[in-house]
A and B are shown apart, each in its own frame.
Chain A
Amino acid sequence: MAKVLVVTSGKGGVGKTTSTAALGATLAQMGEKVVVVDFDVGLRNLDLILGAERRVVFDFINVVQGIANLSQALIRDKRVENLWLLPASQTRDKDALTEEGVAKVIGELRTKFDWILCDSPAGIERGAMLAMRYADEAVIVTNPEISSVRDSDRIIGMLDSKTVRAEQGERVEKHLLITRFDTARAARGEMLSIEDILDILATPLLGIIPESQDVLRASNVGSPVTLNDATSAPARAYIDAARRLTGETVAMMVPSARKGLMDRLLGRRAA
């Protein structure tokens, strides 16, 4: 049965789009049929991260308005066979996305795909509400930083009250994905630790993505980080997270820190 998963955070710039692309690509490589849907109307970027920006002809709003049908708007990834993209519109009219329109498109995608990954815009306005509205599961992307954790807490509250599932007395299964984590800084007490964040947000951990230059390197060339270099630290962390989404039990790896000069001299082991 198809699963609708929203990738959300409240705060902007924490890695929603990067995570949507990486998780989507990995699930597709595992043989699942995946569509990633960009809900950021007016500021679409998922097409760019996937390297499909020049292939966009029709978009989500065109489908909602009946200007194009779904198969005309869906873009198939050139690297991963089972991966598709439904791009957002660049129109400035955010009201063009209606609840009924989203319901219709999600309903149609459910009949065609195993996974529907909804890349939410930042904020708690209409676009973010619509992205989570029909979700069965949610990935909450959080940086180890106070404003991100606060906004995540707010979004968790909304997932528990404003989704169709919540209104029907069911629950949206929530997963916490901690991104841009720096083990060395957390060990030095300069950054919230994994335990701190889990304690505060009380949400099961899906994965820990280390702060890494590989993420920018992959986005520069329009490739999900998992495809650009599958052996890089963030790619391995995303691959593990995707496997957990499918129900596999994968041991949680805390990304190892690079040793600084002082650590080497003192012979300290990286945490």
Chain B
Amino acid sequence: MSVCVTGMGALSILGKSLSAHAQVLFSPTQNGEKVALAYAPRVDRLSQTPPDLRMIEIEDEIAHFQQLLNCPLSRNGVLALCAFEESLVSAQLDISELQGKKIAFILGTTAGCSGTDTQYIEDFVMDRSPDPSSFRVMLRQNPAEVLRKYCVARGVSASFELMLVNNACTSATDALGLASKLLETEDYDFAFAGGTDEILFQTYYGFASLQLLSSHFRSSPFDKNRDGLLLTEGAAILCLEKAEKFNKRRLGAKAFGEIIGYESVTETFHQTSSSPEAEGLTEATRKLLGKAQFSSSDIDFISAHATGTPNNDATEGAFFLKNFPNTKITATKGYTGHCLGAVGALEVIFCMLSFAEKKLPATLGFVEADPSIGIVPVKEVTPFVPFKKVPIALSTSVGFGGVNSILLLRGVAE
């Protein structure tokens, strides 16, 4: 059974729509010098502020959705709503078509569900007796639940199933993987899956304390001088449908692509570092390709997790070189930064756009190969011709706790 990607919605610091992302990703770069960040860094908390929190301007959207849903909403929920609305448009689905259907909202997030009212927590831990009403609202901000509320507010009565996956940086990849598998067994009409994460200053300081942030405020995947990641926020939601239902709904229409495999393995090496031998990635890939009956030479390109941290990129790079010597590698965190629980889905969307454009985005930020790894990802926007009729790609994600998750993706035949 085939699971099709029939709609997509994305927000990141690159832009607030699919077209904005495509425009930047597939325009020529000059050795990583051209950076097209749509939104400027914003200082949020004066002297206590991290120097460069990159936030998406969604103030208008927050006001709009709060009015529509008649309740306060977190940034996390609003980011998800923006991506969800775009995914509906992209899938050519009017909201009324969800009426009476069986719908799954399977989303990933990380910090977004840990309570986002920082002023409340600050007052609470300092014994300043805060009014808990704002935080009480935040505790109920499960983004999957927010999407359901949106549907109900728009008059949709349907059977909803909600899941919120919190697997650190692999959250969205796992949400997509689980959704694609459950779509096969649970008879959902639609599964909207992906991830959303707002940037929180406590997360920023946590990553800073682990010395994982780039001192140059940009991510340089696989580069010799990479020195860490750029923490950002974003949301990406994909509409998944079974092929036969999609074909019936939109006769003759083409999907963006398919999710044809998913595996996740936890390596028991360290809480916050990958094993140098990439044990988790190796095992997950072996299982994934084995089940799908593919070999590494069938893979046209890989969208790498590649955060720009010395440890992650060394592990991942060495793994790719050894196991996928003829496969093109691209990494997009130089554009988007690392939006944690959303990034896996964002990168799957970029793979789908690559299928459509027949081009791979450049690895922005990569200038010089690290001789200790030896990997050279695509440096410029690169056209590709699939090895076979239909392009095949892998999207990898690696997260805290040793989680390694991989999705196997397929484009559509001409």
Partners in one complex: no
Report which A residues bind B (CB closer than 8 A). Answer: none
Report which B residues bind A (CB closer than 8 A). Answer: none
